[in-house]
Structures are given as C-alpha cells and as structure tokens.
Structure 1
C-alpha cells in the first residue's frame, strides 16, 4: 500500500507532502512527495498521524474492562479503533485483590485473542489501585485500598498470566512500603505511575529516584500545587524523569491548564481520557462501575449519583477536537496522544509515523474527525457521523 499525505505528523511536527510505503503491516519508506507517484490513497487534505494510544481506559461503549467477556472486548476494541485509538491500556480500578488478579488475567487473554485482528491493540493492563491514598481516593472505594507491601505485591504477581498482562501500576508513593514497591516493579520492567496521592513534592522526587516514570491524571486526585509546597503536579511538571498523564476531555482540566502542562512538560505530556464504561453513550445512561452507579452528565463527564467525578464519558478523538477547538496547538495535542504516549511505554514501533513502525495510521479530516483508520495497514470503516 502507498499513501500520499498533504500533511503528516512526524517527530512532533506537521510535515509534507510525503509518500508512505507500507509493506507487511509496517511503514517501509517515507519520502517527500513529488505529486507524480502512483498511490493507493491520495490524502489531499487533513492530517495523517499514527494511531492514538490511550493509556487510561476503564471502559467504553457500555463495556467495563474489569468484567468484559469476549463479546465485550470485541465491542470495546473495535469501537476504539474506529475512533482512531489503535492501542489501549485497559485500566482496572481499586477492587478486592483476588478480583483484580482475575481482571488482569482476562485482559491478558483479550490481548492474545485479538492480537491479529484489526482492532485496538491491548498494550497491557494499567492497574489503578489498590495501592492508593484514601485521602485522594476520588471515585475509588477506600475499603479495598491496600499498602503496597511485599505480601500484597506477591499476591498480585503470583499467577504468571496476571504478571504477564500487567504493564503499568499507579500508586501513592507516600504509603508505607511504596518506595520498595517502586524499586521492585520498575526493576521487573513495569511502568510505575504516581497517582491518587497525597505526596509532597519531595516524596514524588523520591519516587522518581526509586524508578517511577509516569503520572496518572495530573492535577486530579492528588495533593495540589501550592506556593510553598509544589505537591504532585509541581513535582512531575519540573522533573524530567516523569511523563505526565493528562486528561484532555476539557472537564477534568480546563483547556488552559492542559496548555500549561504542554508548555511545561512539552513532549513528556501524555493525553488520556480516563474513559469509563459510559464513554460513547448518551447522557443519563446509568451503569455499574467499580461497584457503584455512574452515568454521563450533559458535558460527557461520568459522575456518581452524588456528583463525584468517576471518569470521562468520551473517546480520545473527542478530546483531541476539544483541545484544538480551545486553541491548543494541534501538533502538540496529537503528539501527546501518539508519540509521547508510546515513548512513555518505551515503544518506538507504535505511536510513530516512522520507517519500521507498525502501520497503525489515522487520517484526520479538516474538522479533526478520523476519516480513515488503518491497523497494520488494514483499513477500517470510520465512525459514521
């Protein structure tokens, strides 16, 4: 397959026109376009980017990743791909530890079952709990939270299938045993993120010393930035060892705050949704999430009956549109959802328009809707509008 794109996002900037040759599901060659090349797809407007990677998805389209069966996974992964999300970290929130281990194993099975299908790739599980601070619990259930002590990590990692499915662990670094847990987890190759934390800046920097490299939804459910105590946001924004996970639904964070994150963290910014089971559904559709009811409000924000924010009710392409509509730089926003996200996982084979990378590609129209999606060079039908 050969594509010619008027503009493409490459290495954080829009360039073009370019010709991209795809062979064996990977990008074989990228070169400047002359306009004379025979091509299979001539993308004369819009932008071509790598497929987006959403590293915090609890569910979408009525599917909760913690309990999804094979049909549910197909709904979720197909739906995400049609929205331009070609890789996902299914995220499991705080629950009894045996239930969490079971959920990890189900995520691993889904990764294997759908690995050769043209759907969003399962990049590994993101464990958001139970090693969180009750003081910053957000929508999590404090009664199931645990300290990240050795016995609990042993139980989490005892079963090989669960251990193999896991990719990222969010924890609060001020908890007893947390720094040893970070050393252990990062030493075994897992990404450790700081989140749902009441840590001081000094405690966050200590987590970085121990091997933490990621932040879960900066500014949300964490000790805030203050003039004489930078808290979690101040620490991760100024510490180059941390990627900064940032919810871009325009509701968890005002777009001006996202702009501040981009200006400070730059290419360490990772755009996520924190999407929950109600993402992609109409407002007022009540479903269970984490053992309690949740529904989208009119702005696409998932809320508990008492109004507590439980997560986002949108898919990542909508977040891109909201940020660009608010005046944020389109290349920076798209990079946060593609290249930066991939680098936070240590991946160069996805999330990049680069020679040798997997040909997971999205063509965005002038209104920033995905008009065509390819998974490993295989075309999908985009979402009807």
Structure 2
C-alpha cells in the first residue's frame, strides 16, 4: 500500500493526504488499486491476484445509532464539544467514518441543550462535521408500555408532535436526520407525512403497535425498524405480532444489534434472509463501549454492570440488559464468527446498506465517490484488524 504526501492542519491535528490505496476490495474480492484525488476515488484499476496475507480495504463504516462511546455520553448534559471530538476520533479508530449521535427520551430542555452541543462541536471541529451525518432522535414519541419503552424515562414520553420536531430542527440548523417513534399513537400517519416532507427519516421503534398500525406507518412513509427485535414488549402473541409485521413490510429497512446479547442467532439469520439488502447493523453503543469491566452509574441514575465479554446489565436486575457496548466492527466480527454471513456481506451491512437507507452513495467503492475507507488485515485468529482509516482522502487513524 502506497500513501502520502501532503498534510494539513485540522484543529492542531495533522492528517496526511492519501494518493493510492491498494489491496483486496473486501466486497468484490478482487485485488484493486484506488487512485484518490481531492478526497474522492478518481480511478480503480486491477491488481495482482490476492494471497493469504493480503491487505484488505472496504468502505468506511456507517453507524446511525450511537448513544455514546468510550466514556462519552451524548445524553449527558455535561457533554462538551471537545467530548464529541474525542468520541469521533475513537469511532474512527474502529473504522466508523460516518455516524449519527443518538439522543433518547429526555426533558425538552435537556434535548435542546444536547442538540446545541453537538451543533457546536460540528462548527468547532471540521473532523466532527465531516463524520457526523445528522442527529437521531430516539423518542420521546415511543410506547409507554413496559418492555417496549426499554430504559427510556416514562415521565418524558409523549404523543408525536411535529411542531416539537420542527423546533428541534431549527435549533439543530437542519441536522435532525432520523426520528424513531411508535405508530401506536393517534395521528401517527400525519406526523410521518410531516417529517418525510421535511426530509426527516422516520423509524419504528420502542413500540407496542399493532400490525395494522405498522402497515399504516409504512404506507405513510416510515422507512426503518429501529433495532428490530429489541425495544418490544417482553411477551408477544405467536402471530400476528409487531415483529413478523415489520419483517414482512418490504418498505421497511431493519437495523439490528449483532453483539451476541441483544438477539439470538436464529433471529439474526431470519432478519438477514428476509430483509436482504434492507438489513444493516447498528451498534446502539452507550458510553460504556470501550471501557473496562466494572460497575458504573448511568446518566439515568441507576448502576450498571459491565462484564469482560461486553455484556451490560442492570446491577440490581442482572437479567435485564442496560444497553450495548460493542462497536460496529465487533458486531460484524460476531456475524463472521458465528458464520451467519461472509466478509463481503458483513461489510455491506456495516456500510453499503446503511448508506442506501440514508440515501447516500456507498462510500469509497466507485469513481467519484468520497474516499472513506478502512484498510485492514485478517489476523491469525481470523479477526479483523484495522490498519488505517481514511476520511475524505485523508488518514485519520493509523500510519
């Protein structure tokens, strides 16, 4: 792999510009040489046949649901713009070149404050602005039902309100990208129409909706099931139920958490086979992702227990998960380890498919597309080992 050349300063951090990336395209399986110019892929040419020690590359990963990472909580009002920069740098080290900070149900005042902090971070740090694709509001228009609402605070849950979302959009300067809500509320179809007509994607999640309500939501323009299989009542009828209905709706993409804790392999396999190119990975990572095992206090005021294998549970109710701690790359690795998909498909589930949902061209795999790339090896233990991460043609992680 040949790279180099010019460096530029971005908030006291120097990033080298890349001219050439060469290796096995992990999606096509072909040895390729990418010529990069002005942050975009200019040319793709064939290389020699790959060998077992090959360097691989793939499109930068896209995570549309990140609540926090490595000790930084996007839902804690003590958040600072520099924290968002640190979170961005950590995510880049894990191959995530595009992400969407996710704000869960909270008071209006806190949500507005957190939006403002993220916007300030984007203005202050070009690297953050390049990587943050928008803001995901997961709530407050979700189900009040036990189980379905998950860890969301009951006292802040309310009915869908377009004027509320419109105000958040004004505060954000147009950065609200996704709203996750439950279509069990009266007036849901009209709410979806308003969001979609203003270029905001609508997802179904933390829901106790009936199959008919889900059908109506998809018809009105909802386009995603947020972390399908989670954020649902603990007990469901065999059929019909909201999981089968969301799997059956061709208009709905499905995001899934493949960390080995949130969903059993059978459900992962079913979702992958059913949805095909409309299923993709989200980490749903919390601030505990990247941290050492131990007992911590969460921003919602309860203690959580992080185990060595990454399982996060409520300390006083260890049977209940308290969020996710694995990054997108680890979720991809889980799919590979369990032989649920091959490398090409796992990588597309972390990059190409979420890009399609967002309406973006897949990064870094065709001429004139943004050179957002992850260069990696498969080590002796058959694990993905990131060597270098490139954002818009510049090395943002690795040598």
Q: 1:49 to 1:119 in 2, by over 3 A?
A: farther
- Residue 374, structure 1, aligned to residue 368, structure 2: no
Give the conservation status (yes or no) of the 8 Å contact 1:214–1:244: yes
* Structure 1 alignment gaps of length 5 or more: 36-41
Asked if residue 207 in structure 1 is aligned to residue 220 in structure 2, the reply is: no
- Structure 2 match to 1:8: 26
- Asked if the contact 1:85/1:120 (under 8 Å) is kept, the reply is no
Which residue among 317, 325, 336 is the counterpart of 2:349? 336
Query: How much does 1:120 deviate?
Result: 6.9
1:121 partnered with 2:93: no
- Whether 1:58 aligns to 2:67 is yes
- 1:294 is displaced (CA, Å) by 3.3
Residue 204 of structure 2 corresponds to residue 194 of structure 1: yes
The answer to which of 126-135 and 370-379 deviates more is 370-379
Q: Which residue of 1 aligns with 2:370?
A: 358
Output the CA distance in 1 between the equivalents of 2:338 and 2:129.
30
Relative to structure 1, the CA distance from residue 153 to residue 23 in structure 2 (aligned partners, 3 Å threshold; closer, same or farther) is: closer
Aligned-partner Cα distance in 1 for 2:347–2:130: 17
Q: CA deviation at 1:291?
A: 4.3
Q: Quick check: 1:345 aligned with 2:358?
A: yes
Distance 2:228 2:326 in 1: 18
Please give the alpha-carbon distance, in whole angstroms, between the structure 2 residues aligned to 1:310 and 1:2: 43
Supply the distance in 2 between the matched residues of 1:152 and 1:374 (Cα, whole angstroms). 37
Separation in 2, partners of 1:201, 1:318: 33
- Among 19, 33, 40, the alignment partner of 1:19 is 33
**Cα distance in 2, alignment partners of residues 281 and 104 from structure 1:** 25
Q: Give the superposition deviation at 1:44.
A: 5.9
The corresponding residue for 2:45 is 31
Task: Show CA shifts across 1:143-186 (max 9, x none).
Answer: 110111345445544xx232512110000011122221111111
Unmatched 5+ stretches in structure 2: 1-18
Residue in structure 2 matching 1:311, options 319, 323, 328: 323
Query: Structure 1 residues 110, 183: closer, same or farther in 2, change over 3 A?
Result: same
CA 1:118–1:57 in 2, change beyond 3 Å: closer, same or farther?
closer
Q: Over the residues paired in the alignment, what is the CA RMSD in angstroms? A: 2.3
1:75 aligns with 2:86: yes
- TM superposition shift of 1:352: 4.7
Query: Which string of whole-angstrom CA distances, capped at 9 and with x for unpartnered residues, describes residues 235-257 of structure 1?
Result: 22222211101011111012332
Q: Secondary structure at the match of 1:342?
A: helix
User: 1:2 Cα shift?
Assistant: 1.5
| Matched position secondary structure for 1:208 | helix
What is the correspondence of 1:1-385 to structure 2 with a 5 Å cutoff? 1-9=19-27, 14-33=28-47, 45-66=54-75, 67=77, 68-115=79-126, 117=127, 121-135=131-145, 136-157=148-169, 160-162=170-172, 164-222=174-232, 226-231=237-242, 233-305=243-315, 306-307=317-318, 308-329=320-341, 330-348=343-361, 350-366=362-378, 367-382=383-398
SS of the residue 1:198 aligns to: coil
